[in-house]
């Protein structure tokens, strides 16, 4: 078990607060949502009043997690403290600022619980708990054990879901022996991996319209750098049409990684307001996704990362810069 030096300070803030808002970043994923749902259960068990918040709509694939419908897009009128999960970057809370919520959050005690071990830019946080771990849920599990917070069955399930998701089923390079031990402890505590896998497979079912759309996307994949880089661009019209059904990049990004000689995949989304986002995935042995994302102001894991740009730059110049930087990083990783 890991004991965090910040544990006592976290305990003090939580003990002195009654209503605690749990905040996800503008790019929610399975780890951020499941970790938030686990925290909701934990705080409720110790007599607190937790509120789930995310400034953007949850992706469709996340709505199958029980409790996702409790995530609100507006901050509560009154709360005593905030816990920000799965990010240490203030850039990923821009929607919170646009809604006028940053000042209200900063006026209260703020705890950051993350696992990327990157430089924190949330300067208004009182406590930043950001060790290297395979998932934010792993940090929450260790913290709960250290502080003797109760874990009911639902909290254990959500922690397992989050760890299995971010570790790619305990197969990622970031997975440690402790990650595996924690899953073992959760199973000993009554979590059924077979039940979680059945639920995961159910979320993978697609409307037939998406099956046809996936085929069209795969036909548009472009290859660069001697096929080491696979890239795809999704325009606003398709984002608008298909996002309510499923996040388009997630339909094909893993298939793109299966191309022979491909080491890195990037999927761009071009929005109507000149915003550009990029989702990045790399294959084993080429863990440079986070470095590529950081070059463009984003972040993430070595094998899964992303970035968002709103500076109005032209897409063609951005695309060329991504290709150039990707080549440099892949050459360095190979060396």
Burial 8-35 (b: 16+ CB within 10 A, else e): eebeebbeebebbbbbbbbbbbbbbbbb
Burial 103-124 (b: 16+ CB within 10 A, else e): ebbeebbbbbbbbbebebebee
Q: State pLDDT tens for residues 295-306.
A: 998 887 888 889
In the chain, where are the structural domains located? 7-201, 208-334
Tell me what pLDDT residue 335 has: 54
* CATH number attached to the domain at 7-201: 3.90.1640.10
Among the four given CATH numbers 3.10.310.30, 3.40.309.10, 3.10.20.600, 3.90.1310.10, the one describing domain 208-334 = 3.10.310.30
Tell me what pLDDT residue 207 has: 84
Are 234 and 268 in contact, with CB atoms under 8 Å apart?
A: yes
pTM: 0.82
Residue tagged 């959500």 (tokens): 158
Are 231 and 265 in contact, with CB atoms under 8 Å apart?
A: yes
DSSP per-residue letters across 254-305: HHHHTSTT--EEEEEEE-TTS-EEEEEEE-TT---HHHHHHHTT-EE-SSEE
Q: What is the dihedral of CA 96, 301, 170, 115, to 10 degrees?
A: -50
Residue tagged 């003090």 (tokens): 12
Q: Residue 83 is encoded by which pair of tokens?
A: 């816990």
Tell me what pLDDT residue 203 has: 66
**7-201 matches 208-334 in fold:** no
Are 142 and 2 in contact, with CB atoms under 8 Å apart?
A: yes
Tell me what pLDDT residue 74 has: 93
Half-sphere exposure of 201 (CA within 13 A, CB side): 6
Are 22 and 52 in contact, with CB atoms under 8 Å apart?
A: yes
Measured distance CA(277)–CA(26) in Å, rounded: 12
Measured distance CA(251)–CA(211) in Å, rounded: 9
Q: State pLDDT tens for residues 118-174.
A: 777 898 999 999 998 999 999 999 999 999 999 999 999 999 999 998 888 898 888
Indicate left, alpha or beta for 208 from its phi (over 0: left) and psi (-120 to 50: alpha): alpha
Mean pLDDT in consecutive groups of 10 residues from the start of the chain, 335 residues: 93 98 92 97 98 91 90 95 93 86 95 85 92 95 98 97 90 91 97 89 80 97 98 97 88 95 97 93 92 90 88 93 97 79
Q: Residue 70 is encoded by which pair of tokens?
A: 């409790």
> Nearest CA to 294 among 323, 325, 270?
325
> Nearest CA to 2 among 156, 173, 181, 122?
181
Measured distance CA(221)–CA(233) in Å, rounded: 8
């Amino acid at each position: 078990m890991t004991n965090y030096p910040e544990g006592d300070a976290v305990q003090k803030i939580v003990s002195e607060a009654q209503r605690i808002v749990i905040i996800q970043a503008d790019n929610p994923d399975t780890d951020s949502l499941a970790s938030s749902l686990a925290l909701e259960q934990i705080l409720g068990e110790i007599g607190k009043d937790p509120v789930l918040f995310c400034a953007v709509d949850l992706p469709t694939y996340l709505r199958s997690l029980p409790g996702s419908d409790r995530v609100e897009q507006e901050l509560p009128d009154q709360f005593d403290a905030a816990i920000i999960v799965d990010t240490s970057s203030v850039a990923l809370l821009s929607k919170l600022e646009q809604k006028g919520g940053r000042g209200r959050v900063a006026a209260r005690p703020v705890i950051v619980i993350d696992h990327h071990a990157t430089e924190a830019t949330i300067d208004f946080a009182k406590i930043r708990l950001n060790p290297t771990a395979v998932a934010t849920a792993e940090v929450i599990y260790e913290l709960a054990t250290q502080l003797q917070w109760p874990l009911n069955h639902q909290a254990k399930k959500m922690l397992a879901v989050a760890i299995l998701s971010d570790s790619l089923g305990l197969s990622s390079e970031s997975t440690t022996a402790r990650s595996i031990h924690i899953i073992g402890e959760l199973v000993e505590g009554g979590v059924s991996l077979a039940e979680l896998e059945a639920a995961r497979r159910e979320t993978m079912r697609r409307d037939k319209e998406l099956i046809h759309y996936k085929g069209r996307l795969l036909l548009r994949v472009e290859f660069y750098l001697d096929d080491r880089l696979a890239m795809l661009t999704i325009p606003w019209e398709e984002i608008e049409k298909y996002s309510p059904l499923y996040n388009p990049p997630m339909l094909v990004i893993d298939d793109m990684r299966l191309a022979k000689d491909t080491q890195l995949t990037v999927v761009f989304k071009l929005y109507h307001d000149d915003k550009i986002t990029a989702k990045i995935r790399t294959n084993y042995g080429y863990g440079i996704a986070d470095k590529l994302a950081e070059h463009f102001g984003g972040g993430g894991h070595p094998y899964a990362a992303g970035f968002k740009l709103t500076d109005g730059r032209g897409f063609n110049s951005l695309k060329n810069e991504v290709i150039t930087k990707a080549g440099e990083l892949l050459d360095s990783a190979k060396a």
